[in-house]
Amino acid sequence: MSSYIIYFLENRAKHKQSYELSVGMSAPRVFGVYGESDSGKTTLIVQLVSQLTKEGYQVATMKQSNKTISMDTKNKDTWRHHQAGAHLVVFSSRSETNFLLEAPLRSSEILRRITEFGNFDFILVEGADDPDIPKIQVGKGRKRSNTIAVYKNNFQEIFALIKKQGTIRPSPSDLSIKVNGMDIPLTEFPAQIISNTIVGMLGSLKNVQDIHKVTIELKR
């Protein structure tokens, strides 16, 4: 069975400039929530989103599953597009836009693409298993790496923790540039601009996916 990554955008006024985000803006703080089925993961995510947005923060969420499932509906038009061979299908209506990509992506790649849709302060990942993402465990079960707290009906404590952990962000790109053989020092701001521009352009090319290292040599 094919697996899909779903990108969802609501057509609200606050997202009108979402495609202008990215370059040079601060990276969002990323936190994961995990636990066994019916442990209350979604309830905690919803509470966090509600409280963060009430305080004026821009929030994006991601739901991850280790099952081979799809959000597409069998025999619907978009499903038929995929069955015909389309690798990417976009559904657009007056209220929302959905991007259905017939490919699994790494967490880091999904997070990077999320930032292309808006200037988010927080990204909350339900079901997170990536060791680089700080996580909150809900209920009992095996503790995953980089678990920073356990939720035990202590919402205010958890909420204060994720607001306090302001330095926890996605790993920045390791960028180095040489011009005429000389190393060019870069601060975070121009490094982020250049990295986002390069990755964004390369990501639009055919057969380019999950970008981890890029080598470019230009001679004039």
Are 156 and 190 found together in one domain? no
Q: 124 and 138 share a domain?
A: yes
CATH number for the domain harbouring residue 78: 3.40.50.300
Contact call for residues 28 and 115 (beta carbons, < 8 A): yes
Residues 140, 144, 145, 151, Cα dihedral to 10°: -40
Same domain? For 17 and 122 the reply is yes
pLDDT band at 55 (very low <50, low <70, confident <90, very high): very high
The residue segments making up the domain with residue 40 are: 5-171
| Whether residues 45 and 124 fall in one domain | yes
Shared domain check, 157 and 79: yes
What pLDDT digit, counting tens, does each position of 193-218 carry? Answer: 677 677 767 766 777 766 677 888 77
Tally of structural domains, the chain: 2
Evaluate if pTM is beyond 0.85.
no
Q: 164-177: buried (b, 16+ CB within 10 Å) or exposed (e) per residue? A: eeeeeebeeeeeee
Measured at the alpha carbon of residue 111, what is the angle toward residues 94 and 169, in degrees to the nearest 5?
130
Q: Where does the pLDDT of residue 25 fall: very low under 50, low under 70, confident under 90, or very high at 90 and above?
A: very low
pLDDT for 14 equals 42
Distance of alpha carbon 23 from alpha carbon 189, whole angstroms? 9
Average pLDDT over residues 22-28: 50
Is 80 exceeded by the pLDDT of residue 38?
A: yes
Q: Which residue has the higher pLDDT, 3 or 162?
A: 162
Do 208 and 108 share a structural domain? no
| 114 and 178 together in one domain | no
Q: Are residues 103 and 212 in the same domain?
A: no
pLDDT at 201: 73
Give the pLDDT confidence score for residue 1 in this predicted structure. 40
The reported pLDDT for the residue numbered 207 is 77
**Domain co-membership, 136 together with 165:** yes
Residue 5 has pLDDT above 50, yes or no: no
Q: For residue 119, what pLDDT is reported?
A: 82
What pLDDT score does 104 carry? 83
Whether the predicted pLDDT of 141 surpasses 90: no
173-186 per-position pLDDT tens digit: 577 888 888 888 87
In 130-191, the DSSP E strands lie at: 135-138, 147-151, 177-179, 182-184
Given a cut of 50, is residue 35 above it in pLDDT? yes
**Do residue 154 and residue 206 come from a single domain?**
no
132 and 106 housed in the same domain: yes
Residues 153 and 192 in one domain: no
Is 196:114 a contact under the CB 8 Å cutoff? no
